[in-house]
Structure 1
Amino acid sequence: RLARRDKVELPVETSDRCLNLLMMAFLLFPAIKKIKRESLTQQR
C-alpha cells in the first residue's frame, strides 16, 4: 500500500485537476441538459 500511495502522491496536481474536472462535469451536466431542453423548447 505504501508503494502505491507514493506513486499516487507524486502526481497529486494532475489527479486533483482530473478530480476537479470530473466534479465540475457532474455538477454542470444537469445544468447543460436543462439549458439544452430550454433552447429546444424556445426553438419550437
Structure 2
Amino acid sequence: HRYLAEAQYRFNRRFNLRSIFARLLRAACLSTPAPAHVIRAAEVAR
C-alpha cells in the first residue's frame, strides 16, 4: 500500500505549477554532477 500511495501522490502532483521550480531546484542541488560525454551519450541513445 505504501508504494501505491507514493506513486499516486507523485502522479497527482506532477502538474502542480507552484512546486515545479522548487522540485527542479531541489533535484539539481541533490544530484551528482555528470560529465558532458555522459549527457551527450544519453541524447544519442534516444
Q: Which has the larger radius of gyration?
A: 1
Q: Bigger relative contact order, structure 1 or 2, given CA contacts below 8 A and separation 6+?
A: 2
TM-score bin, normalised by smaller chain: 0.3 to 0.5
What TM-score, normalized by structure 2, do the two folds share? Answer: 0.37
**Structure having the larger proportion of residues in helix:** 1
TM-score w.r.t. the length of structure 1 is: 0.38
